[in-house]
Chain A
Amino acid sequence: MSSAILFKDIDEPGLGTLAVYQRRGGYGDVLRKGLSMPREALVNELVESGLRGRGGAGFSMGKKASFMPKGGMDKYLVCNADESEPGTFKDRELMTKSPHMLIEGMILAAYAAGATKSFIYIRGEYAQQADILDAAVAEAYADGLLGENILGFDFSLELVVHRGAGAYICGEETGLLDSLEGKRGNPRLKPPFPANQGLYQGPTLINNVETLMTIPHILGMGAAKYAEIGVENSTGTKLISVSGHVKRPGNYEIELGMSAREIIYGLCGGIEGDHEVKLWFPGGSSSPVLTSDDLDLGYDFDSLAKAGSMLGSGAIIVVDDQTSVVEVCLKLAKFYRHESCGKCTPCREGTQWTVKMLERMKSGTATPMDLDIMASVQEQITGHCLCVLGDAMAMPVGSMIAKFRPEFEEYIEAARERAERELVASLDAGLVGSAT
């Protein structure tokens, strides 16, 4: 893969150790260059690189760093390693194999943001990765790469690895901050935005693992060079996690703008059993679904947005034509019902109502009218909640109803008939008592 940046050395044995990482050029000239630049210049580099957040929202990394206020107050950098979006597993591989790249990225981001305390909030289930990070952080401290006066520069940084307790909502940046502060992980009202009042009320920069790990490479090759990769508004490479009915699921690094068809049929070898694509989630389970008609779209922020979906976390979930859309919908809705923090009425009630309706569709006690109700419930959730978790269910569910309505109707009918048949059969068999 010629485009590999993050994955360039990823399978180098022992890359997770400081020695190998340094041998590969880590913590070297790039870091020195970054720390000797004025802060503003570093932030400018990041802006110019066009790097957009890899965690889901796709906001310009450099701009976000530039929102950090000046001044002597305590400022924080937080790495979002909660990676809980269904279908997403790129940060896991990155952290497993190259923890020091994350640390180096964080040193540079913290320097750019003026932060002196930093945290990696990692999902609780990533125990192995947390152990790896702990070991790497200890190595970095021992080598003077964290702590006081890094590499002798007038810059100091503390880094703490914090393990979450297994809640998707703690990946939402403000829920993450509350959880990190030891509170219940509930999203906060915005404004204030974390850059103004984040962790412990202090200015806070929050970025995804991949976003942060890209920084040393941008600095290494220069922002202008980085910006040449990819397409307009979607510069650079992106790690994508492909899962579902493809022959070769896994993480791939692509140049942004590659077509979805190339990814699914090229990189991933096509659909298992050589079936057809029924639908695909382009950016994690929270993105509205696309169909086989959309396979020629370029995989970049703007193209996917134009098609009514989003690049999200870069997780492509492919569903073949052998799979019922209703089952996909139910599985998805159950996830969001379980993960809603419960704060906002529409999200809390709407997710569980949706699940109940889908379960009735499955058990054969629904009518097509329920489909209208379900569609309207999705509309009632969308845009009415504090964070976007509610939307994250409502939009894909809504898109599935819109795009596969006939299949839903058939499914409902079929389930009803099946239920009736079963009822009649059990009556015939005397399993259900008759009136006499």
Chain B
Amino acid sequence: MAFGPHLLLATLEGLVTSAVLALMALGLSLVFGVMRVVNVAHGEFYMLGAVLAWAVASAFGGHPAIGFLAALVIAPLVVGAVALVADRLVLKRLDYNPEATIVATIGLLYIIQQAALTFYGADARPVQAPFNYRISLPWFGYSGYKLAVIGASVALLLTTWLVLSRTRVGLMMRATQYDSETAQAFGIPVGRVYAGVFAVGAMLAAIAAVLIVPTSQAHYLMGRDPLLLSFIVVIIGGLGSLRGTVVAALLIGVSDGIISMFFSPTLAKIIATLVVAMVLVFRPQGLFGTSAR
């Protein structure tokens, strides 16, 4: 393949990574931004989404699209419910103390991971894509499903942006993020906002996982790398900044695609980590973040 098409392919692959990463990192960033909770278990919500997708899809017979669509609805709802329980049972009781919640979510990480190992097992299992249409470009064919993943991610990101900037619930979330004490003084039920944000953050990770699992496989350790990459994205983009998250996900995803294809995936990770180190040193609030008040 000539260089041009090769680059196009790498970019497309990178965009798919970016799409999933943006959703996942958005969840992490919302939770940190609004609640000041560093959710170390975020990758496990992603893993749980993929594992549940397999469980739901294999429970449904017939056309793969039916099982997949069912998974796309059920898996995020279940993961959201797990997150709600974790919020009420653990985070709330710790009063959302930033240090304590880090330790608590590390615990949550192991609980979810070991539960998956116990009930799902150590095997990697596939989920079938809802359709197998291939788009034929002049130089190569490309999975129509992967393009659909990009589309779905864009739609979800836009929806989140609209909710945050245009609705009453979004206003409550932003008010809680800027100044939770004053928000309460104006009747905003901060506790419920926290619970909702934690659930939505987890659901975004689960949706990302359901979308991507047909192109890879579900495995009980699959949450680790996406967690790391999400942290990288959130740090580069600036915590709590939606625009920064999207831009950083594009940057990391596309450069990862290109460097992986032309050089090696390891080099891609090394560069990403270096970029994070540079950002932390020279612009700790992230590219788009506002510095601490």
Asked if A and B bind, the verdict is: no
